[in-house]
């Protein structure tokens, strides 16, 4: 394990009592949603994690009760180490402070998480949809979002499907 | 002796206006230069010298919809892309045709989900469907020739 990463993890564990998980040499820090801004600011300024590579989310809907995990992948350019920061969010109107003031690159990534998971980043300057059409209803990567399935056309249901299919003209 | 034979001897060929117009339309049917997914690679290959679609007067892919006669929808159309494709179709001048190339453009293919249009015929009037995932260049050229056969049977009144 990298010396810098070891120092960082011991320091933040002492300060925040954060839960740390290790999987095959990759380290994940779990943090409370309210602390996310000051925590990432500390990581950037004091521990030199100066790049936010990615902001993603996972929906663990039926298994876990705080259903969302929002994940920040941080990278330290001077020390060449990576750190994953996770926060658990409740499914009822999920709110999280925006970190785009700390990492500029988080701007579009937060928009993407907002678009696909419906997590609201408070303080984000331009929180619009980025992947789906603007008038889209729902957030497709949530586990309870219907996948959308069209009946496959065979000879026995051909007419029935052709009635419901839109037929455009010039 | 009919009129055709007499005038033929004098170096004149008579035909109907419809046939002449349709012949010229099939002889220089310019497709639009756009591809949406992997089928576009096969479309490029069909244009390239190996298969050489210019044998049928289709050597030019027009980058502007205003100069093109044929839209080859090569690839899956996502719901976000659908209004754009329809807008391109609306910008093409009047004698215009559409080929749905590949399974995705024809019926959604393997993408039976919320994000992909289940066949481009939901937004465009399609003339020829080409099956395959992706179709080989021969299949696309066969589809184009099928379209040419269809155009040769059209009347002038259809587009008036």
Q: Does A156 touch chain B (CB under 8 A)?
A: no
A24 touches chain B (CB under 8 A): no
Q: Do B124 and A168 touch (CB under 8 A)?
A: yes
Contact A127, A120 (CB under 8 A): yes
**Number of domains chain B contains:** 1
Domain assignment present for residue A84? The answer is: yes
Query: Would you say residue A169 lies in a domain?
Result: no
CATH number of the CATH domain containing B42: 3.40.50.12280
Instruction: Evaluate whether residue A110 is within a structural domain.
Output: yes
The answer to whether the complex's ipTM is over 0.90 is: no
B124: distance to nearest CA of chain A, Å?
A: 6
Q: Is A148 on the interface with B (CB under 8 A)?
A: yes
Share of chain B above pLDDT 70, in %: 92
- Quick check: is B85 in a domain? yes
- For chain B, say whether A161 makes contact (Cβ under 8 Å): no
| CB of B108 closer than 8 Å to CB of B118 | yes
Please give the pLDDT value at position A71: 94
Mean pLDDT, rounded, for A142-161: 84
CB contact under 8 A, B108 and A150: yes
pLDDT higher than threshold 60 for residue B71: yes
Write out chain B residues lying below 8 Å of A133, CB-based. Answer: 79-80
Per-residue confidence (pLDDT) for residue B150, from 0 to 100:
92
CATH of the domain at A67: 3.30.460.80
Let me know if residue B133 belongs to a domain: yes
Residue A89 in domain = yes
- Total count of residues recorded for chain B: 160
pLDDT number for residue B18: 87
Per the structure, the complete domain to which residue A68 belongs is given by 3-164
Q: Which of B83, B86, B113, B124 to mutate to test the interface with A (most CBs of A within 10 A)?
A: B113
Q: What is the pLDDT of residue B28?
A: 86
Q: Give per-residue pLDDT as tens, A58-111.
A: 999 889 888 999 999 999 999 999 999 999 998 888 989 999 999 999 999 999
The answer to whether residue A14 sits within a structural domain is yes
Q: Is the pLDDT confidence value at A28 over 90?
A: yes
Residues of A in contact with B124 (CB under 8 A): 168
Q: Is residue B92 part of a domain?
A: yes
Residue A25 belongs to a domain: yes
Give CA–CA dist A112/A110, Å, rounded: 5
Tell whether omega for the bond before B134 is within 30 degrees of 0, i.e. cis.
yes
- pLDDT band, very low/low/confident/very high, at B160 (cuts 50, 70, 90): low
Domain presence at residue A9: yes
Q: Is B87 on the interface with A (CB under 8 A)?
A: no
Per-residue pLDDT, B60: 80
Total domains, chain A: 1
**Does residue B45 belong to the interface with chain A, where contact is any CB pair within 8 Å?**
no
Does B23 reside within a domain? yes
On whether the CB atoms of residues B92 and B66 are closer than 8 A, the answer is yes
Query: CB-based contacts of B74: which residues, under 8 Å, 6+ apart?
Result: B34, B35, B36, B37, B39, B40, B42, B43, B101, B102, B105, B134
Q: Flag whether pLDDT at B5 surpasses 80.
A: no
B12 — pLDDT class (breaks 50, 70, 90): confident
Q: Does residue B39 lie within any of the structural domains?
A: yes
Query: Cβ of B121 and A165 within 8 Å?
Result: yes
- Domain residues for the domain of B72 are 18-151
The pLDDT of residue B7 is 64
C-alpha A62/C-alpha A14 separation (Å) is 33
Asked whether residue A73 is assigned to any structural domain, the reply reads: yes
Contact between chains at A166 and B108 (C-beta distance less than 8 A): no
């Amino acid at each position: 394990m990298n010396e810098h990463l070891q120092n960082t993890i011991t320091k933040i564990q002492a300060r925040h009592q954060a839960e740390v998980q290790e999987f095959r040499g990759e380290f994940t820090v779990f943090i409370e949603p309210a602390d996310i801004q000051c925590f990432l600011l500390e990581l950037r300024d004091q521990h030199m994690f100066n790049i936010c590579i990615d902001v993603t989310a996972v929906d663990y809907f039926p298994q876990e009760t705080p259903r969302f995990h929002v994940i920040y992948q941080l990278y330290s350019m001077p020390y060449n180490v990576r750190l994953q920061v996770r926060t658990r969010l409740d499914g009822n109107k999920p709110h999280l402070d925006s970190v785009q003031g700390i990492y500029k690159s988080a701007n579009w990534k937060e928009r993407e998480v907002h678009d696909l998971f419906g997590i609201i980043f408070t303080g984000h300057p331009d929180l619009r949809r980025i992947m789906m059409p603007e008038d889209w209803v729902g957030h497709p990567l949530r586990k309870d979002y219907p996948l959308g399935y069209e009946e496959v056309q065979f000879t026995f249901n051909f007419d029935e499907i052709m009635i419901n299919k839109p037929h455009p003209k010039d | 002796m009919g009129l055709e034979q007499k005038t033929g001897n004098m170096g004149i060929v008579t035909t109907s206006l419809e046939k002449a117009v349709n012949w010229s339309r099939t002889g220089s049917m310019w497709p639009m230069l756009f591809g949406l997914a992997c089928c576009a690679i096969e479309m490029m290959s069909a244009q390239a010298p190996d298969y050489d679609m210019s044998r049928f007067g289709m050597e030019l892919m027009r980058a502007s919809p205003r100069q093109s006669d044929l839209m080859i929808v090569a690839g899956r159309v996502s719901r976000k892309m659908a209004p754009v494709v329809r807008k391109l179709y609306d910008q093409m001048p009047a004698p215009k045709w559409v080929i749905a190339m590949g399974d995705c453009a024809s019926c959604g293919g393997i993408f039976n989900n919320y994000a992909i249009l289940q066949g481009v015929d939901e937004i465009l009037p399609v003339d020829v469907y080409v099956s395959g995932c992706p179709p080989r260049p021969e299949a696309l050229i066969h589809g184009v020739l099928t379209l040419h056969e269809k155009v040769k049977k059209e009347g002038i009144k259809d587009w008036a």
